[in-house]
Amino acid sequence: MNFIKSFYLKKRFFYLLTILAVLFAFGFSFPTLNILAKLGLATFILFVLFDIFLVYRIKEGVSAKRDVPHKLSNGDKNIISITVNNNYNYEIGVNIIDEIPAIFQVRDFNLFYTVPAGENKKISYTLFPVKRGDYYFGNLNIYVSSPVGLINRRYLFDSEASAAVYPSIIQMQMYELYAISNRLTEAGIKKIRRIGHTLEFDQIRNHVRGDDYRTINWKATARRRELMVNQYQDEKAQQVFSIIDMGRNMKMPFNGMSLLDYAINSSLVISNIAIRKHDKAGLLTFSNTISALLPASGQYTHMNRILKTLYSQQTGFLEPDFEKMYATIRQRIKQRSLILLFTNFESLSSLKRQIGLLQKINRSHALVVILFENSELITFREKPAQNTEEIYKKTIAEKLIYEKKQIVKELRLAGIQSILVQPQELTIAVINKYLELKARAVI
């Protein structure tokens, strides 16, 4: 391979010298050119030869390496790093053309930087994938120029690499950090006031100013002759199941991502938060059949299984079978659990066909139906109509928006909790609902 590269390098160098020699002979063979033109041509050729000498005098003038994470996050900005080492004894300009995966359809990828003599430079750019799967990178092309800047020398690095785009690991880690440090409010999570006490006793401790007087333990106070209080902690080991509808309605796109991918990202985050809050997280995905079922577990290694399962989920563009989903819940989820159902009823009639099954689930579990609000319809509705056609379109948009609100109202009348949320705000809304239900001791 090195022999082939060396051969082609020498071949290109020979062609360049031949062109310059022809140009020199051609220019000086015309007696009509004045002396200044001939001197200018000679000076230009000398500069080109000098520039060739500068960039080609070292066999390996630069070395470069691309650093691609093994797992990329879907729906997030992922950082790709390139390290360029300058082996010349002068500052060079580099033009980097990285052959990024074809799925991004980027045809004008160029990065321009300067690298000081004998030093290295770490260069970063971001990729924003909107689809899960395997992504393949091609070669890394580095074009080097000297301070003269007339000639570019190409260095080709055989840096073919692949990366798998998983559900949003970046979001999962971000919310996990907030949860561990009790700073969820900084991410937009509401601070929920706890109603009453949980039943799980933790310990007896000394009273400090601000403690609720209702927690005073009078027997311990009498024995110790100082004020003692009972300390309680959140009731642990409650089951939280993310149930994802993978029917054709979930394939609807929003900002390049499908609603299914938004639901998958949110399911990963809420499962991680639940385990960090000492609850158990489970997963069920369905379309016309049951695609995946993971029993609830509180072990943190369970997150690996959830991540791998979510990575492989795809919609089949078929109608979801809610009866199979209900039968699976009835058979496999025996303990009362929080059921987070990610779905997308587009009409009131489609909800009414399934509302009986949802009520049955709600009798045994705490069911929350999560619906997606079409923000593009809302934006279109706010724009003034310019003609009769747009008036009709705005009327249809208004009808669809109103029907979504009617779906939420119908669920509320049936005693079922629901969330109507825009896709980009899904994760925060789901975490808020989870914390609210824990505060109210619903689960």
Tens of pLDDT, residue by residue over 235-285, are 557 899 999 999 988 988 888 899 999 999 999 999 999 998 889 999 999
pLDDT tens, residue by residue, 193-246: 554 444 456 678 888 887 777 888 888 888 888 888 887 665 557 899 999 999
What's the confidence (pLDDT) of residue 329? 96
What's the confidence (pLDDT) of residue 4? 39
* SS3 of residue 49 by DSSP: helix
Which CATH superfamily includes the segment(s) 62-166? Immunoglobulins (2.60.40.10)
**What average pLDDT does the segment 323-343 reach?**
95
Answer whether residue 42 shows pLDDT above 60: yes
Pairing between strand 257-258 and 417-421?
unpaired
Answer whether residue 369 shows pLDDT above 90: yes
**What average pLDDT does the segment 153-158 reach?**
87
CATH number for the domain whose boundaries are 169-192+235-439: 3.40.50.410
* 38 band by pLDDT with thresholds 50, 70 and 90: low
Answer whether residue 142 shows pLDDT above 50: yes
The more confidently predicted of residues 294 and 106 is: 294
What's the confidence (pLDDT) of residue 392? 82
The more confidently predicted of residues 323 and 237 is: 323
What's the confidence (pLDDT) of residue 399? 86
Cβ-proximal residues to 129 (8 Å cutoff; 6+ apart), any chain: 72, 73, 74, 75, 78, 103, 104, 135, 165
What's the confidence (pLDDT) of residue 24? 55
Mean pLDDT in the chain? 84
Residue that the structure tokens 């994760």 belong to: 427
The more confidently predicted of residues 211 and 301 is: 301
Answer whether residue 430 shows pLDDT above 90: yes
Q: State percent of the chain over pLDDT 90.
A: 49
* 181 band by pLDDT with thresholds 50, 70 and 90: low
**Per DSSP, what are the bridge partners of residue 155?**
142
CA distance 439 to 443: 9
Instruction: State the helix-helix crossing angle for 35-56 and 2-28, rounded to 10 degrees.
Output: 170
**What average pLDDT does the segment 40-44 reach?**
73
Q: State percent of the chain over pLDDT 70.
A: 84
Pairing between strand 201-206 and 228-232?
antiparallel
What's the confidence (pLDDT) of residue 216? 86
What's the confidence (pLDDT) of residue 64? 92
* 9 band by pLDDT with thresholds 50, 70 and 90: very low
285 within 8 A of 278, measured Cβ to Cβ? no
Burial degree of 263 (CB within 10 A; 0-12, 13-18, 19+) = buried
The more confidently predicted of residues 113 and 177 is: 113
CA distance 343 to 290: 15
**What average pLDDT does the segment 389-402 reach?**
83
What's the confidence (pLDDT) of residue 279? 92
What's the confidence (pLDDT) of residue 186? 53
| The two three-digit tokens of residue 236, written as one number | 């642990």
148 within 8 A of 51, measured Cβ to Cβ? yes
25 within 8 A of 122, measured Cβ to Cβ? no
Q: How many CB atoms lie within 10 A of CB 138?
A: 15
What's the confidence (pLDDT) of residue 418? 94
Answer whether residue 320 shows pLDDT above 50: yes
What's the confidence (pLDDT) of residue 179? 64
What's the confidence (pLDDT) of residue 1? 41
Answer whether residue 164 shows pLDDT above 50: yes
The enclosing H or E element of 253 equals: strand 253-254
DSSP 424: G
CA distance 304 to 2: 42
The more confidently predicted of residues 17 and 377 is: 377
What's the confidence (pLDDT) of residue 51? 84
CA distance 15 to 166: 48
Distance of CA 88 to the CA centre of its chain: 39
